[in-house]
Chain A
């Protein structure tokens, strides 16, 4: 029971408190680039969730059972990049062949994720964890990505109709919004004490 509770708390913690975008500053490019329309933000968020989970599922065993016994931990970054890139292409290939609805939702976003540092960041962090915690990290991080990019897109859609000074229109006001969101999320810090649950 305690393990399940700590698993759920870890997911919430990675999702809200230690958010991948607003706290760890990963995936900013897609956050700013795609977060201007709700539909595209949700599509990108779903694609990132899918690829992050798959990458965590594949990369953790590769690191633990191949790189560590062969004493090649120094190769983790290049191996993870190649694994993520291959995984994205394979998933794209199967989606193209088998699922029209998924292709319509994720199709154009999948190739973009190859260079999304959020996925690589999660996989890199997972090398220090056990399998359960690495999956919690992957799930919480991707849900946090979806949450923040969705909220950001909603705000940006409303800002399109707002009377913003000319100098702040577009990306400048988006960056100000991102900063305010980071402050808001910072206020949630300390909500869950991971140390007391044995998660640190």
Chain B
């Protein structure tokens, strides 16, 4: 086979693989996660139980902050 033939086959292989990747990527993104595994975006995912997720720490921090903010107001209310 000529040099041009090999180049065409190489390009065809790469194009085919990129197409397969694109299709599988779109399919993965468009598939909704199973019920009970939905996650919010960023720090808003307080309902998530995946403690190893990097956003989980932010959610915990936010919850602690919220609790701190709520405590003084309840004290005032009691007074």
Contact = CB atoms under 8 A, between A and B. Distances in A.
Interface string B42-53: 000000001111
A180 to B, nearest CB: 25
B9 interface: yes
A1 interface: no
A187 to B, nearest CB: 31
A27 B52 CA distance: 19
B28 A89 contact: yes
Contact of B28 (A43, A70, A92, A104): A92
Contacts of A97: 31
Contacts of A191: none
Question: Would you call the interface of chain A mostly helix, strand, loop, or mixed?
Answer: helix
Contact of A75 (B10, B25, B34, B52): B10
Interface of B is mostly: helix
A96 B34 contact: yes
Nearest to B53: A108
Most buried by B among A34, A78, A89, A96: A89
Contacts of B21: 82, 85-86, 89
A70 B24 contact: no
A86 B50 contact: no
Interface stretch (B11-19, B58-66, B67-75): B11-19
B36 interface: yes
A40 B52 contact: yes
Nearest to A110: B28
A86 B34 contact: no
28 contacts: A34-B52, A39-B52, A43-B52, A66-B13, A72-B9, A72-B10, A72-B13, A75-B13, A79-B17, A82-B14, A82-B17, A82-B20, A83-B17, A85-B25, A89-B24, A89-B25, A89-B28, A90-B27, A92-B28, A96-B28, A97-B31, A100-B37, A103-B33, A103-B34, A107-B33, A107-B37, A108-B52, A108-B53
Interface of B: 6, 9-10, 13-14, 17-18, 20-21, 24-25, 27-28, 31-37, 50-53
Interface of A: 34, 37, 39-40, 43, 66, 70-72, 75, 78-79, 82-83, 85-86, 89-90, 92-93, 96-97, 100, 103-104, 107-108
